Structure 1
Amino acid sequence: MPPTSTLAAPPRTKGSEFAPLLRLAKERGLLGRRAGYYIRTITFNALALAVTWAGVLVLGGSWWVLLLAVPLAVLCGRTAFIGHDAGHQQIARRRGVNRVLGLVHGDLLLGMGYGWWNDKHNRHHANPNHVGKDPDVEVGALVWSRAQAVQREGFARFLAKHQARLFFPMLLLEGFALKVATVQDLRRRPPRDRAVEAVLLAAHLAGYVALLLTAMPVGTAVVFAVLHHALFGLHLGCSFAPNHKGMAMPEDDGQRWGHLRRQVLTSRDVRGGRATDWFLGGLNYQIEHHLFPSMPRPHLRLVQPLVREHCQRLGVPYAEAGLMESYAQALRHMHAVGAPLRGA
């Protein structure tokens, strides 16, 4: 597989390719809010978190408490998905309500900046996989094109050279990296937003530390916190990795893609049943989510057949893969990106 799949600009068509699909989704009521679904989801998640933390307080005197880092990491992933949906205005009609839900689930419950993530994620949605515009394919610990790879030096070059085999181990650091990025971004927030988020982040830190130190000795608390954040980062990374890696990467050369092709050609769906939907937080319907970012999560599987059929009529490739194959495709792409360095 080539390291990037840069496609030629699509042929011009009369009218919008997306408009008929949007009209059909509206006619089916798929853009309407699902208050009941989200009330149940948020309530269950909050209760499950409370029960898990109660278990931590009960078992804190034993090393068996470390086993609870696993469900806590998974539930924190559920919390992040709720914050994600709030950021896309999927939950409530009023923007202010979504913002409060995002701040509570992001800053207060996770210690992850809602404002920072929302800005970054919206730029990703506007130009997915677009080199020079999508922050998710900027040069960081990993690189996403050979042009980025050959510019790396020192230890960064070593990482780029072996990034495919290091990818999943590096995800164990993602939970910590998200919090570092949140703190670094605070100074760039507008003053009022900065104050609100700083208070919520401080409350999260104080509550998290207090719970751990109340429940267990300091040494156990440190191990629990490290394990919890490592598993949380791994879970989030495994949820986002299949979505775009190895798909088309438009270069910043003035190509103009319509909304439908810009979103479909750069995204991949992951096949699976309800368990996959739950584990990936609905992000397995990545094509549909990118086409309809404000569509409630439970409607994504309902709109999928409409999107697939519409793409087939237009002759637009629609990418789907099983979960394991989606990871394999992403890893093959990362391996190919580092090929020039391994041959050097």
Structure 2
Amino acid sequence: MAITDIKQYAHLSPADVEALGCELDTIRRDIESSRGARDATYIYRTIAAQRFLDAAARLMIFGSRSRAGWLCGVIALATAKSIENMEIGHNVGHGQWDWMNDPEVHSGRWEWDMAGVSAQWRYSHNYRHHMFTNIVGVDDDIGFGVMRVTRDEPWRPRHLLQPLQNLLLAVTFEWGIALHGLYSEQDRMTGTAEKKAETKALLGKIARQTGKDYLLFPALSGRRWRRTLAADATANVLRNLWAYVVIFCGHFPDGAEKFTPAAVAQETQPEWYLRQMLGSADFEAGPALAFLSGHLCHQIEHHLFPDLPSNRYPEIAVRVRALCEKYDLPYTTGPLLRQYLLTLRTIHKLALPDRFLIATSDAAPETASERRFPVTAPTVNPPDARRGLRTALAELPRRWLQL
């Protein structure tokens, strides 16, 4: 089942984990000390470009007389919405630009262009997910409450519908995130009045969001309101699908491990770093794809340093990958399509009862623990020749299609 001893699973000694933590602290200090005009220019230009693209897309939708022009406008609008949600809204919400002391890009002020309330999302995501990443029973993002993505969750008959639920969630992803944020926020509240206030806040945001996309802009289009309404709805669905793919590929491919609450009892900062490295996955992307994903192709780096500017993740990734090499740890990454297919395999196979699955619950591709390795006497390796998790995994029998 889930990992209960992270250091044992990683095949690292306590001294190794502390040394790894120190090196990651050094990366953080280096980036923090070098933040400046280049980073500020990046976020300001990104916001300006996104707003220009949004306006241009809406003018194209309004003014085009052909289906091709309408489709180009829809794609441009979906791209603008994706950039606002992922490269701007998500990253601003993490406090990546708070150091600038500019209210426009401060985490407490930005309200993103989607159904969910930013403040509710910040609690469910920044705190419950990032602080307790992949801890079974604590991190609500493990399957978002509707998916079974680990055998630590008992199978129930409703999971047979999981493949269909996955499609529905993909299409309506912004609404799933909105409800997820609300329920997480309400979980920490005891008063009925507080819960009602949060529900009212979400309903108000939904009214403003749907009013803008489905009433205001169609009304401004006059007799062509149907084209605008269809364009806004299509762009929102395309944005939802893209956000869903990016998020799922960073959290549910093979190699993104899960942990028990016992594994993080009295967890130190270096151990927290190690859990983030083992519990996240990257996907390969060039500069354009990285930008469109909000730089969440670097999910490992994002989980290590969620409040550092996203435009610095590519350079951080080079150093993190070198640390994985040094400490003989896997660096979980791969092409986007491969990562998504691995995620789909997990979703579809765990829709079935465990009795139909072949791999043990400690050595399945999507769920592993330290018990997958044979018990051997610990060895002491010289610092320049560590035998860590990557080597241990390579020595195990491997079947990519293992169920």
TM range (shorter): 0.7 to 0.9
Encode CA deviations 1:49-77: one digit per residue, 9 max, x unaligned.
11112223324897963552222122111
| TM-score under structure 2 length normalisation | 0.71
What is the one-letter code of the residue matched to 2:275?
R
1:244 to 243, 251, 258: 251
Distance in 2, matches of 1:228 and 1:18, equals: 42
RMSD: 3.5
Distance in 1, matches of 2:232 and 2:27, equals: 47
Distance in 1, matches of 2:354 and 2:74, equals: 38
Aligned-pair CA distance for 1:196:
7.9
Distance in 1, matches of 2:328 and 2:318, equals: 15
Matched, 1:92 2:98: yes
Matched, 1:332 2:345: yes
Checking the alignment, whether the CA contact within 8 Å between 1:146 and 1:340 is kept in structure 2 is: no
Checking the alignment, whether the CA contact within 8 Å between 2:136 and 2:152 is kept in structure 1 is: no
Distance 1:201 1:32, change over 3 A: farther
Checking the alignment, whether the CA contact within 8 Å between 2:217 and 2:228 is kept in structure 1 is: no
Q: Give the structure with higher Rg (CA).
A: 2
Distance 1:218 1:140, change over 3 A: farther
Q: 1:311 maps to what in 2?
A: 324
Paired residue secondary structure (2:329): coil
Matches within 5 A, 1:280-299: 280-299=293-312
Q: 2:114 maps to what in 1?
A: 110
Aligned-pair CA distance for 1:278:
1.9
Encode CA deviations 1:168-220: one digit per residue, 9 max, x unaligned.
56411213434555677898779999888776654444333211232155654
Distance 1:190 1:101, change over 3 A: farther
Distance 1:326 1:234, change over 3 A: same
Encode CA deviations 1:221-251: one digit per residue, 9 max, x unaligned.
5533432221111011111111110311112
Aligned-pair CA distance for 1:31:
6.2
What is the one-letter code of the residue matched to 1:175?
E
Distance in 2, matches of 1:203 and 1:92, equals: 26
Q: 1:323 maps to what in 2?
A: 336
Distance in 1, matches of 2:321 and 2:248, equals: 22
1:278 to 284, 291, 294: 291
Matched, 1:224 2:231: yes
What is the one-letter code of the residue matched to 1:227?
T
Aligned-pair CA distance for 1:45:
0.6
Distance 1:182 1:207, change over 3 A: farther
Out of 291-300 and 137-146, give the one that drifted further: 137-146
Matches within 5 A, 1:143-292: 143-148=148-153, 150-151=155-156, 153=157, 156-160=158-162, 162=163, 167-168=166-167, 170-179=169-178, 202-208=207-213, 209-215=215-221, 216-217=223-224, 219-246=226-253, 247-256=256-265, 258-292=271-305
Report the count of equivalent residues: 333
Distance in 1, matches of 2:4 and 2:330, equals: 12
Segments of structure 1 that go 5 or more residues without pairing to the other structure are none
Segments of structure 2 that go 5 or more residues without pairing to the other structure are 358-403
What is the one-letter code of the residue matched to 2:139?
D
Aligned-pair CA distance for 1:272:
2.4
Distance 1:342 1:52, change over 3 A: farther
